[in-house]
Structure 1
Amino acid sequence: MMRPFLLQLLILSPLAFVGCASQPNQEGAPIFRGSALGSSSVQGDFAHAPGVDAFIQRMQRKHGFSPAQTAAILSRAQRRESIINLMDRQAPRRSTGPNGAWTRYRAKFLTDASISNGVQFWRRHESALARASAHYGVPSEYIVAIIGVETRYGGFVGKTSILDALATLSFAYPRRADYFTSELEEFLVMARDEGIDPTQPEGSFAGAMGLCQFMPSSFRDYAVDFTGDGHRNLWHPEDAIGSVANYFKQHGWRAGQGVAVRANVAPGASVGLMKTGFDTRYGLGELAARGVVPAGSLSSMGEVSLLQLDAVGGYQYWIGLHNFYVITRYNHSSYYAMAVHQLAQAIRARHSGLPSVRLSSVW
């Protein structure tokens, strides 16, 4: 998320040639047509900014952009101090002990409204979800849950100019300049190839786009034209649905296998001394020897991860399967992946005709 987002945030955290006015398609996503670009010298906020000249040369050498084209685009970008301030606030805070962080995080995404809205999104796009699930092997509820966690099913795709965000972080934020310069490069290539105005798309303050909040490099690698109209449009629900499913498939989603199961910890077990997290690797026999056993049946006999969630009332322990790790490829956070998993389970239950399902039942 990211990788769609690649910032590994715990909280959400989600198109180019300079041209004429936009024209919304049936889902409200703008489609743009290109026009000629002018002067070869950058004007405005990024005139003489470190790295700009090298970027212009890079776009010409690698992608055939004339210096005038790239300069004209960058001249229309604005440096936004608010973006820099938001990036600086993302540094993770170290916890010195249990404080209920998981319970608070979970509450942001697992609400009665989010479950109901997920069911409504599923019903509106039932055909596309069924098609994506059949083609990529990813259950519909996980596709819906990703879009729910990322953008509340398209309700909050972000209002920051993608061009402004990526230019600001490329040329005014040295700490991550290399990464965001690469994303700006991908964004301009995407815009050219899709025939859209790079000043128009809006998304997250870090440049994530559409219902599924892909970064431009993830657009290049994983976005799909699921509508068959010849364009990959992440603001269109069907393209977003297909792209999320493809992302999971390409990262190794195993069809028919589970995601995570609660762990029972024997009294006196030394689980507190064990390494935990989505990137840990244990055999079930090793966990059992240390007093940790799955509370339910497992669909996989391979290596698993041991997850520790800081819940109100004490730590919860879960066993993460391979598909749990795949979810963390979207956002490198155990909390994020568990929120997606539990929201997916709740949406699935309600969609299947169990409207009285309690939120506690998916813990």
Structure 2
Amino acid sequence: MTTIVQQAMRARALMRVITLAAFLAASTAFAAPATAPQSYIDRPDVSAFIDEMVADSGFDARALRRFFAKVRYQQSVINAISRPVLEPPKWYQYAPQFLSASRIDGGVAFWRANAATLERAQNEFGVPAEIVVAIIGVETFYGRNAGSYRVADALTTLAFDDPRRAEYFRNELKQFLLQAREQKISPLAPKGSYAGAQGLPQFMPSSLRDYAVDYDNDGKIDLAADVDDAVGSVANYLAWHGWQTGESVMKPASIDVDKREEVERMLDGGISDRRTLESWQLDGVNATDIGESATGIREMATGIPESPGSDPVGVLMLEEEGEPSYWMVFNNWYVLTRYNRSRLYASAVWRLSQEVKRAFTGQ
């Protein structure tokens, strides 16, 4: 009997070893490589990039070789950008982190500390102060989470070691090197996200060069340490992308019960194509604060575009823990999606802006 028990114990122990070995073998398939890629300065694709920068933008080849000799591959960047999304988040899962009491209180404190600059930006660009505050709040928690990667390392890693996105990130690397030359700073100095986004508003280099402004006129653009520049740059970005002063972002909507199934089929990924407000009304979709007119077509309440035929709107669905909520979304909501294409992102910015404004004004 003892022999049988001992044999059984040895068999179970062997199975544990085999199982552990199989687990470790499987794990290594997803782990970082044992050795990093060869030095960037020795790679033919980097040499071709240097030649392109010299020919197209007049860079000094030796300076670029010195730069790439100091850049370091970052496996954590590849891990972060390749992290699989098993299922897109739903609104009720996504929103709470951006609508927490600490995020709202932080927005009020940021607004109070920078009230004069926010008011000036609102007057000059037509973008409400609370929208600018909310974008900075969502992007970096008012500067607390602006990123700790060297932008040079992040962009170089993605430009040359992420084949799926290489073209995009090589262009961003080019824009970053141009940015550093224009600002007369070392390209090894800026810090940012794993994707190379910089500063309080997390501008990618191409956006920084196109839309960032020296809002305090100190002779340089600094989105990381200069709040004035960050505020002015966010407002300028939104204005350039078509922000309409005084118009709505989104309004609660209702769908007639007998039309709901038909309308829901139009919501691809939670958002419809844009159509005229009148056509949505005829299909049973109505903003809840629009009143009846004498003609039977609903007239516009304050903040609703006055020309429904010329300013098409979309219908948005947000997943709540119970029944979903429905919204009419207007031009300014789509402008927010130019900052980040997610319907959840644009909606979170708007919701946070309203909560911060309510807390700031005491209403």
Q: TM-score range by the shorter chain?
A: 0.7 to 0.9
**Equivalent residue number for residue 23 of structure 1:** none
Give the counterpart of 1:155 among 137, 144, 147.
144
DSSP 3-state at the match of 1:263: strand
**Equivalent residue number for residue 84 of structure 1:** 78
Amino acid at match of 1:299: I
CA spacing shift, 1:79–1:224, aligned 2, 3 Å: same
**Equivalent residue number for residue 263 of structure 1:** 253
CA spacing shift, 1:251–1:241, aligned 2, 3 Å: same
Displacement of 1:50: 4.7
Identity %: 41
Give the counterpart of 2:219 among 230, 248, 253.
230
- Aligned 8 A contact 1:278 1:324 in 2: no
Larger Rg belongs to: 2
Give the counterpart of 1:247 among 237, 262, 267.
237
Displacement of 1:260: 0.3
**Equivalent residue number for residue 166 of structure 1:** 155
CA spacing shift, 1:68–1:102, aligned 2, 3 Å: same
1:65 equivalent in alignment to 2:59: yes
**Equivalent residue number for residue 193 of structure 2:** 204
CA spacing shift, 1:128–1:278, aligned 2, 3 Å: farther
- Aligned 8 A contact 1:44 1:75 in 2: no
**Equivalent residue number for residue 311 of structure 1:** 320
Displacement of 1:314: 2.1
Structure that is richer in helix per residue: 2
**Equivalent residue number for residue 361 of structure 2:** 352
**Equivalent residue number for residue 18 of structure 2:** none
Number of residue pairs aligned between Structure 1 and Structure 2:
307
**Equivalent residue number for residue 339 of structure 2:** 330
- Aligned 8 A contact 1:170 1:177 in 2: yes
CA spacing shift, 1:279–1:238, aligned 2, 3 Å: farther
Give the counterpart of 2:97 among 108, 122, 128.
108
Cα offsets for 1:26-70 (capped at 9, x unmatched): xxxxxxxxxxxxxxxxx9731333520111011111221111011
Cα offsets for 1:208-238 (capped at 9, x unmatched): 0000000000011000000101111111111
DSSP 3-state at the match of 1:350: helix
What pairs up with 1:15-30 in 2 under 5 angstroms? none
- Aligned 8 A contact 1:278 1:328 in 2: no
Cα offsets for 1:299-333 (capped at 9, x unmatched): 21221011111221122111000000000000001
Displacement of 1:94: 4.6
Aligned counterparts of 2:205 and 2:265: Cα–Cα separation in 1 = 40
1:288 equivalent in alignment to 2:299: no
Amino acid at match of 2:232: G
Aligned counterparts of 1:44 and 1:275: Cα–Cα separation in 2 = 47
Aligned counterparts of 1:49 and 1:278: Cα–Cα separation in 2 = 44
**Equivalent residue number for residue 296 of structure 2:** none
- Aligned 8 A contact 2:266 2:273 in 1: no
| Bigger RCO of structures 1 and 2 (CA < 8 A, at least 6 apart) | 1
Aligned counterparts of 2:233 and 2:257: Cα–Cα separation in 1 = 45
| TM-score normalised by length of structure 1 | 0.81
Aligned counterparts of 2:87 and 2:284: Cα–Cα separation in 1 = 28
**Equivalent residue number for residue 134 of structure 1:** 123
Aligned counterparts of 1:158 and 1:50: Cα–Cα separation in 2 = 30
Displacement of 1:341: 0.2
Moved more, 63-72 or 325-334: 63-72
Residue ranges of structure 1 left out of the alignment (5+ in a row): 1-42, 355-363
**Equivalent residue number for residue 182 of structure 1:** 171
DSSP 3-state at the match of 1:329: helix
Displacement of 1:268: 2.6
| TM-score normalised by length of structure 2 | 0.81
**Equivalent residue number for residue 13 of structure 2:** none
Amino acid at match of 1:61: A
Aligned counterparts of 1:71 and 1:253: Cα–Cα separation in 2 = 42
Aligned counterparts of 2:39 and 2:253: Cα–Cα separation in 1 = 54
